[in-house]
Amino acid sequence: MKFLETKIPPPAVMALFALAMWGLARVTPSFSILALVSFWGSKLFLAAGLVVLFLSAINFIRARTTFNPMAPQNAATLVTSGLYSFSRNPIYVADVLFLISWGFYLANPFALALILLFMAYITRFQIEPEERALSEKFGPDYAAYKKRVRRWL
């Protein structure tokens, strides 16, 4: 299934998974958690996702490199500072935080379980191809970075 690698923009993948979560929440039992937990949990994860996304974008802008996930080979610089010193993929971490927020809003454990499938899809069809492109482009610098920093968290 190599033909899917870096073909679907990650925001579109996230939107498709959010839609699938909504659909699943409509046909399966919901959490019996307090509305307050669902409300504040969704807000907390949404805020965390926005902060992570904003700080990640700032790192790319400061490095004057592309953050186009469809063309990782166009990266001009290897970004390793800021949030990228904790995770090699903080933008995808932000996507997961957004989906967790949505899952809390839906208050549905089955919908939340789809996040694991999102992570598996993004890892296989987006992150692994990006890692190959960055390894080719930045060689030993990227290899050292991979040893130092985890893929997700």
> Helix, strand, or coil here: 132?
helix
Residue 41: give the domain boundaries: 11-24+33-66+79-148
- Residue 71 falls within a domain, yes or no? no
Q: Is 1 inside any structural domain?
A: no
| Average pLDDT score over residue span 105-118 | 94
Closest CA to 50 of 82, 94, 14: 94
73 located within any domain: no
Please count the structural domains in the chain.
1
Measuring CA to CA, which residue among 27, 4, 138 is closest to residue 84? 138
**Res. 67 pLDDT band, cuts 50 70 90:** confident
- Would the pTM count as exceeding 0.85? yes
Decide if pLDDT at 83 tops 90: yes
Residue 49 lies in a domain: yes
